Structure 1
Amino acid sequence: MDRADPGTVRLALVVGGLVLAVLLGFGLGRMNTGGALAAGGVPQSALTGHTHAPGTGAHSHEAGQAEAAEAGGLAVSRGGYTLTPLAAEFTPGQADELRFQIQDAQRRTVTRFAVVHDKPMHLIVVRRDLTGYQHLHPSMAADGTWSVPLTLPQPGIWRAYADFTALAEDGRQTATTLGVDLVAPGEYAPRPLPAPATSNPVDGLTVSYQGDPEPGLTVPVSFRVTAADGSSPKLEQYLGAYGHLVALREGDLGYLHVHPEPELVDGAMQFWLTAPGPGRYRLYLDFATGGEVRTAEFTVLVR
């Protein structure tokens, strides 16, 4: 039997070792992509959002960039899940209850959800002219029916967004936002969108905005709160963060996921916003001071 040349054997071992290292690295990379689980089985990335080192500027993410820039809440079905309201008509100005279910691709009612930002379900309601913003947290019955008190103060077509992370039987987590229209019959008099401004008064405080969103780029936007005497009131944690930001696109009311930094940045609330394209957007900032949750609203023009 012929003996293999020693040089050939060494070359084969080196190549084989490199291939094995690449395969192991690929496998470990896929394992690490899932992230460590925090309390409640939620990935740390889902809790802390989109974190970056201090000083990071506008940038893009090649892996999954299209998904990051895609607006949500445009359909009642997405990713194998469907938002099913049990009633969609409300009397303007009258207290009522919104009840709905989330169903999977087999039309089964989903009952397992991850807790993200202290709640398993975040419900955003706004009129189609982007007025009347409400951030609600429904409760779920044992059969998977969600319910929450809701008053639509003015006639018109309203949009309700269910923002949640579903847990499949095999443990997979699917974060998505589904949207559905609600109707408040009556004469609809839409209000024009306020002009862009870098500061707005809220309950005797001034909230200032800083940032320059660009289509397709992930850009830091920050908000600073000051009192009438120029001092900075103490910001309190609300739903596990110093602030929560919802961004909606004028026209189709596309819902943008905006990720907060877990800590204040130089005393300001900082978020990372990826605008899918040019247009006007309405930003809704929820923050807490003095034990009370307040909301500041901004119009932002993306060119």
Structure 2
Amino acid sequence: MRPPIRLAALGLGLATAAAVVIVGGRTADLAVVRESPGRGVSGTGPNAAGPLGLEVTQRGYSLRLSAPTAPFGPTTLRFQLLGPDRRPVAAHGSGQQSEPHVFLVQRDMTGYQHRHPARDATGTWSAPVELHSGTYRVLVEFHPAGEAASLTLGADLIVSGSAHPGLLPEPARDVMVGDCSVSMGGTLTAGTVSRLSFDVRRGDRRVPDPGSYLGATGHLVILRVGDLAAVDVRRVRSGLTFDAAVPSAGTYRLFLDFQKGNADRTAEYTAVVG
């Protein structure tokens, strides 16, 4: 049996006005949930999927950023999703849960953002983002019309200026996010499906039903440190419980998006899988 992972957490508020560059999901997120309306990044399912988001083209579909570079500061991320015929494609179905999710994070795992982009008449998607110097990984999770499974595609975005890489936080299971404490239960094990659950409390009282975040109770995104590969994640029932299929040993970052009141929040964890 493999040893359980050590978990480290750092809670950060996700500013509502800040924009995101990371890849997103639709009926699931980076580490997505498929069995229920939750989201995370996902492929065909946690039992079979390997690392996601390492390719800019997969199954004939491609992610094309409007530019490979971007200026420092607030800006708009624009991209197209191209089909096998090299023409822009639409998402599957209708409604918010059918639209792509975009996630952005820097190579040192800082600056995480999650956005729900808008599509114009030309088939170009856009979302507001707040960028700092360095290289970001842009991940887009979407479900092409007519396809049985969703895709997660990734591309790098370079922001001008001098970057100063940060250090990952030390392992811990509890994190403060504003006036809420968020505790993580469960362990991640390489090569199998692991179940994680999260408990949100304010003082001594549990928050029984966090508000909807982009159409779901919560979103969990898991990225591997180094190549920023996304892990297939699925929410297994209402609330903040997820199944994640970690493909290999290594260090991972976990980003749990949820809503408290009218504010979007993100709890961030570091997991070391032996």
**Superposition TM-score tier, normalisation by shorter sequence:** 0.7 to 0.9
Question: TM-score scaled by structure 2?
Answer: 0.80
Partner of 1:90: 70
**Counterpart contact for 1:89–1:182, Cα < 8 Å:** yes
**Counterpart contact for 1:215–1:278, Cα < 8 Å:** yes
Instruction: Note closer, same or farther for the CA distance 1:150–1:292 as it changes in structure 2 (3 Å cut).
Output: same
Q: For the pair shown, which has the larger CA radius of gyration, 1 or 2? A: 1
Partner of 1:256: 231
Structure 2 Cα separation of the partners of residues 49 and 173 of structure 1: 12
**Counterpart contact for 1:50–1:272, Cα < 8 Å:** no
4+ residue runs over 4 A deviation: 63-66
Note if 1:118 corresponds to 2:97.
Answer: yes
**Counterpart contact for 2:33–2:243, Cα < 8 Å:** no
What residue ranges of structure 2 are gaps of 5+ in the alignment? 1-26, 37-43
Higher relative contact order (CA 8 A, sep 6+): 2
Partner of 1:35: none
Partner of 1:277: 248
Q: CA offsets per residue over residues 20-63 of structure 1, 9 Å max, x none?
A: xxxxxxxxxxxxxxxxxxxxxx8xxxx96246xxxxxxxxxxx9
Structure 1 Cα separation of the partners of residues 220 and 61 of structure 2: 24
Structure 2 Cα separation of the partners of residues 64 and 147 of structure 1: 27
Return the match for 1:49 from 34, 38, 44.
34
Partner of 2:51: 71
SS at match of 2:214: coil
Return the match for 2:88 from 103, 109, 112.
109
What residue ranges of structure 1 are gaps of 5+ in the alignment? 1-41, 52-62
**Counterpart contact for 1:256–1:275, Cα < 8 Å:** yes
Instruction: Note closer, same or farther for the CA distance 1:116–1:258 as it changes in structure 2 (3 Å cut).
Output: farther
Note if 1:201 corresponds to 2:201.
Answer: no
Relative to total residues, which structure has the larger helix share, 1 or 2? Answer: 1
Note if 1:288 corresponds to 2:259.
Answer: yes
Partner of 1:164: 142
Question: TM-score scaled by structure 1?
Answer: 0.73
CA drift at 1:115? 4.8
SS at match of 2:97: coil
Instruction: Note closer, same or farther for the CA distance 1:222–1:195 as it changes in structure 2 (3 Å cut).
Output: same
Structure 1 Cα separation of the partners of residues 134 and 72 of structure 2: 9
Corresponding residue pairs, total: 236
Identity %: 37
**Counterpart contact for 2:80–2:125, Cα < 8 Å:** yes
Structure 1 Cα separation of the partners of residues 95 and 273 of structure 2: 29
CA drift at 1:244? 0.6
Instruction: Note closer, same or farther for the CA distance 1:274–1:117 as it changes in structure 2 (3 Å cut).
Output: farther
CA drift at 1:126? 0.4
Instruction: Note closer, same or farther for the CA distance 1:137–1:127 as it changes in structure 2 (3 Å cut).
Output: same
Partner of 2:20: none
